[in-house]
Amino acid sequence: MILLLSLVIVFSVIAFFPTFSDAQSEPKTFVTHSGAVVKTSGEILDPLYTSATVEFDPMEYLRDFNYGQISQLEDGTTLREFTIIANDDKIMEVSPGIFYNVWTFNGTVPGPTIRATEGDIVRIKFINNGEKEHTMHFHGIHPAGMDGVFEPVGGNGGQFFYEFEAGPVGVHPYHCHVMPLEEHIVHGLYGVFIVDPKEGRAPADEMVMVLNGLDTDFDTENNFYAANTIPFYYQHHPIQISTDELIRVYVVNMVEFDPINNLHLHGNLYKYYPTGTDVVPSFYTDMITLSQTERGIMEFEYQYPGKYLFHAHKVEFSEKGWIGIFMVNENKKGVESEGYGS
């Protein structure tokens, strides 16, 4: 009798509380500016999926740096040439069952991580294959005409060449700067621009984390949050790193609508370089708080192997997807992990 009663309770719970892998219901229909009809089911809770079910692979994006086509000018200066193509009519399954009209640079949200050394000439052939006007506005130092604000580039093949000297050293966002700005950013037209010091930085396992969110039901509130677009991805697919190895994370906050975001690391503290412009860290902490487009460089090493969370300490954000895991593996070859926390 007790067994029967237990089974009834279990099945009742399952019936009333759907599993976490299901998107919440109440789908809404949305017509894009080009007439495509999409449905979104809004907020989600901890979906289970693999890179095969999500088009954009956050693990690949994490360590993917685009150094451009490299050549030398007559005076010996390094020229780095990039081609960036904007689009605004792509429907992407940003999480299982959640289809969203992403606006992309080179097909992804975030766009490619562009990387140069201070003093290099960066030349970007910008092609707008979207339907709306778009630009590329780089944070950093450059001439007014290269600022991507007053030179909107028309859609359907419009072009513009951005050219400037890379600087200052640091990690900077780039994003479209066409009004209404909030709309262009929240749909995904942003990326990261890293300027390395001429003398370089210490060797490290380097990665990029763009903290972002998506308003999938168009009520000017984010429905979920992430590091690198796909909610919960690094929780289900922990980032593999090694003990006693320097980890360097370029962090950029691109969340709209919410005034702050933050990043807390478990079982460790990191040296933090705001904007990455100084070679001396400003903080040694396990927690930073970032406003829109604030960014910096985190550096840390793990002493003990095992599984460690990193996430927004704004708990709402972590519970809506901005959470991940570092899987710290023993660095000594041939020595078995002692299984801390594994």
Stretch that binds Cu ion, among 130-138, 158-166, 224-232, 326-334 (CB under 5 A): 130-138
Give pairs for 13-21: CB < 8 Å, separation 24+.
Answer: 20/45, 20/46, 20/47, 20/48, 21/46, 21/47, 21/48, 21/96
Stretch that binds Cu ion, among 29-37, 151-159, 168-176, 312-320 (CB under 5 A): 168-176
What's the closest the beta carbon of residue 60 comes to Cu ion, in angstroms?
A: 24
Q: Give the residue with the Cβ less far from Cu ion, 137 or 295.
A: 137
- Regarding 176 and contact with Cu ion (CB under 5 A), the answer is yes
Three-state DSSP class for 317? helix
Cis peptide, bond prior to residue 110, ω within 30 of zero: yes
Rounded Cα gap, residues 183 and 132, in angstroms: 11
Q: Give the residue with the Cβ less far from Cu ion, 106 or 329.
A: 106
What's the closest the beta carbon of residue 189 comes to Cu ion, in angstroms?
A: 5
Positions 290 through 309 that interact with Cu ion (CB under 5 A): none
What's the closest the beta carbon of residue 178 comes to Cu ion, in angstroms?
A: 4
- The pairing of strands 121-128 and 158-165 is antiparallel
Nearest to 102 by CA among 26, 24, 191: 191
- Regarding 44 and contact with Cu ion (CB under 5 A), the answer is no
Cβ-based neighbour number of residue 52 at 10 Å: 7
Q: Give the residue with the Cβ less far from Cu ion, 176 or 297.
A: 176
What's the closest the beta carbon of residue 179 comes to Cu ion, in angstroms?
A: 9
- Regarding 134 and contact with Cu ion (CB under 5 A), the answer is yes
What's the closest the beta carbon of residue 148 comes to Cu ion, in angstroms?
A: 10
Q: Give the residue with the Cβ less far from Cu ion, 142 or 184.
A: 184
- Regarding 184 and contact with Cu ion (CB under 5 A), the answer is yes
Stretch that binds Cu ion, among 18-26, 29-37, 172-180, 269-277 (CB under 5 A): 172-180
Stretch that binds Cu ion, among 12-20, 67-75, 137-145, 188-196 (CB under 5 A): 188-196
- Regarding 137 and contact with Cu ion (CB under 5 A), the answer is no
Rounded Cα gap, residues 58 and 51, in angstroms: 8
Q: Give the residue with the Cβ less far from Cu ion, 59 or 181.
A: 181
The DSSP result for 33-82, as a single string, is TTS-EEEE----------TTTSSS-HHHHHT-EE--EEEE-TTS-EEEEE
- Regarding 178 and contact with Cu ion (CB under 5 A), the answer is yes
Radius of gyration of the chain (CA): 22
What's the closest the beta carbon of residue 222 comes to Cu ion, in angstroms?
A: 19
Stretch that binds Cu ion, among 140-148, 189-197, 257-265, 301-309 (CB under 5 A): 189-197
For the record, the structure tokens of 109 come out as 């949200």
Rounded Cα gap, residues 20 and 9, in angstroms: 19
Decide: 132 and 179 in contact? Cβ < 8 Å.
no
Stretch that binds Cu ion, among 134-142, 158-166, 204-212, 329-337 (CB under 5 A): 134-142
Residue nearest to Cu ion (CB): 176
**53: number of CA atoms within 13 Å, CB side?**
10
Task: Say how many residues touch Cu ion, by CB under 5 A.
Answer: 5
What is the binding site for Cu ion (CB under 5 A)? 134, 176, 178, 184, 189
